[in-house]
Amino acid sequence: MKVSESLNPRNVKSSSQPGNLYICNMPGNDQLQVLLKEDERRFMAALFKSYFTPACKTIYRFVQDMSVAEDLAQDVFIKIWNKRAGLGEVYFKAYIQRSAINAALDYLDKKKRRGVHTELEEENMQIPVLPMQGNLRETAAKIDAAVNELPEKCREVFILSRYEELSYKEIASTLNISVKTVENQVMTALKKLRVSLKELISN
C-alpha cells in the first residue's frame, strides 16, 4: 500500500498486533520524535492517528465541507511525509494545526472567497458569554450558524482567535495583515454576533 493510500481515513485501522502501523495509545511529542528517528512509517501512522481528526475539524471550520476538509487534511499529512527528513525538533500539534489552517486558507484563496479588509474604530469589547440553557447542541448549532454568517475575512480572523486560540500577532502573520486589522475584525465579529445571538444573550 502506498503511503498516500495508508493516509486515507477509509484505510486506517487500529490494532494492538505487533508490526501494525498504528499504536493504540496516543503518543506524546517526545515519543513521536523517537519514532521519526527509528521507524518512519510507524511515526507517520501514529501522527495520523493522533492529529488527523483535529486537522479535519480545524479545516472544516473554514471550508464548511467535510469531504474537502478530509482531502485537505490528508494532503497536509502527505506533505509532512514527503519532507519528514527535514522536520527536526518540531512540536507536532502546533505544526499540524498551522499546516491545517494554511491549507484551508489556501483553498479559500484559490476559490476567490477572501473578503476585503474593513477598518473599523477600535472598541474595548469582550466576547459575549452565552448561557447554555435548554438543548446544548441546539445552542451550539445557533452559535456556529451565526459565526458562519460572518463576512469571510471576519470569520477567518474570529475562528483563528476564538477557536484555534492564536494570538493577534500570530493571526496577523498567518493572514499577512496588520495586528490592528486583526483587532478590528474581531471587534466587527463580536458586534455582529451580539446582534445575531441577542435572543440567546438576553435569555
d(CA 52, CA 49): 6
Question: What phi, psi does 135 have (nearest 5°)?
Answer: -75, 115
pLDDT value at residue 12: 47
Half-sphere exposure of 19 (CA within 13 A, CB side): 0
d(CA 87, CA 44): 12
pLDDT value at residue 120: 32
b/e burial code for range 109-121 (CB count within 10 A of at least 16 → b): eeeeeeeeeeeee
Q: What is the pLDDT of residues 62-118, one digit of tens each?
A: 888 999 999 999 999 998 888 888 887 878 888 888 899 989 888 888 875 444 333
pLDDT value at residue 15: 35
DSSP at 18: T
pLDDT value at residue 53: 93
Q: What does the block give as the cell for 159?
A: 475562528
Establish whether domains 3-110 and 136-202 are of one fold. no
pLDDT value at residue 13: 43
- CATH architecture of the domain formed by 136-202: Orthogonal Bundle (1.10)
pLDDT value at residue 7: 56
How is the chain split into domains, by residue range?
Answer: 3-110, 136-202
16: CB partners within 8 A, 6+ apart: 24
DSSP at 123: -
pLDDT value at residue 142: 79
Q: What does the block give as the cell for 123?
A: 472598541
pTM of the complete model = 0.59
Q: Locate cell 492564536: which residue?
A: 166
Q: In a 10 Å sphere around its CB, with 0-12 CB exposed, 13-18 middle and 19+ buried, how is residue 91 labelled?
A: exposed
Domain 3-110, CATH: 1.10.1740.10
pLDDT value at residue 145: 84
Residues in the chain predicted with pLDDT less than 50, given as ranges, are: 1, 10, 12-24, 113-134
pLDDT value at residue 113: 41
Question: What phi, psi does 44 have (nearest 5°)?
Answer: -65, -40
